Structure 1
Amino acid sequence: MALKDAHDRFKWACRQAYIAMANMMTAATELGIDSCPIEGFNYAQMNQFLADQQIIDPAHWQIAVMVSFGYRAQPIKPKVRQPLGDLYEEV
């Protein structure tokens, strides 16, 4: 893959971040921790917030994706499924 400029490198790094995020989410599930991937947020505002908090240096780092981790407030409701025979008829 030819990474010709900073934009191409950032796009590639974003895709790589999703791999790491998926692994973190899988590991969290094994520990009984719920997670939710988040995108569609205002990237510029989030980068500025993190810079203002001195968490990142925006000259070198940018946010690609976010993920939240935590414990659910309520237990999972049992799934209700119809019997398979009610869904189709074999002819």
Structure 2
Amino acid sequence: MSLVPDILLTGAGAFILVSLVIVFRVVRGPTMQDRVIAVNAIGTNIVVVLALVAAATGNRAALDIAIVYALLNFLMSIAISKFTVERGGVL
């Protein structure tokens, strides 16, 4: 058994821990833009974790899920930003 999958999965765990630290900014962000950026950062970390899991296990379906999640994360950021601008929340 190779050590590469174990190292990749350990890296995925580290990204999850970084995401948990960013959750503080989502909850306590002073502005809506801070919260959008924090949620986008968490989504990006999830995409990286899914890609690492796909590489470690050789499961191509996990990589497809990572690509779809990245697209949804991008669309969510655009939608929330547009909503914020239309409501006058941007200074």
TM category, shorter: 0.3 to 0.5
Q: TM-score, normalised by structure 1?
A: 0.35
**TM-score between both structures, scaled by the size of structure 2:** 0.35
Larger radius of gyration: 1
